[in-house]
Amino acid sequence: MSYPVLSVLDNSTETTVIWHVHTHPVGLPTGAWIAEEDQVTNLLADTVIILTPGSSAPENSLVASLEGIQGGVDKQVAAYNQHGVRVAGLGARGAEAVYRGEPAAEAAWRAAMELLDVVNGWNDIESKRRSRKVLAEAFGAEVQPLPLDAN
């Protein structure tokens, strides 16, 4: 099974910022870069890109949105709940964290933290689903990858 690495990309100004967020076994921000032009392709390789407002993805990139991912999670939870066992969906977002880094990287960091909330919420949902026999039998014993609505 393949678990995507997500790249939050903010290139809405003259500075390009990239945050990587791993989706399994836990949601984890694993790298952040204020990237030079020649680094961008390598940093985005084999990842799904989440854009900050005003940003654009390189041509032929796999792009998803936070809203699309949340919608994918909601659809999957609805499918789980059709099997007679209730699994709660994504909860309310946690308290807003305080940013203390480079000003140019704040928009990407905020998007990465929101994404991290969704990823960890999905991992909690999957943990609960796998603990219910009927759902583990219907959908498999392994953790399912984060549902992406990507182009």
Residue range 32-81, pLDDT digits in tens: 999 999 999 999 999 999 999 999 999 999 999 999 999 999 999 999 99
Structure tokens at 149: 């609505």
Q: What is the pLDDT of residue 118?
A: 92
Residue 151 has pLDDT above 60, yes or no: no
Residue 122: band (very low, low, confident or very high) from pLDDT cuts 50, 70, 90 = very high
Q: What is the pLDDT of residue 92?
A: 64
Residue 150 has pLDDT above 70, yes or no: no
Q: What is the pLDDT of residue 97?
A: 74
Do residues 52 and 107 lie in contact, with contact meaning Cβ atoms separated by under 8 Å?
Answer: yes
Q: What is the pLDDT of residue 95?
A: 61
pTM: 0.88
Structure tokens at 2: 């393949």
Query: Out of 61-65, 93-97, 104-108, 114-118, which region has the weakest mean confidence (pLDDT)?
Result: 93-97
Q: CB-hemisphere CA count at 13 Å for 97?
A: 15
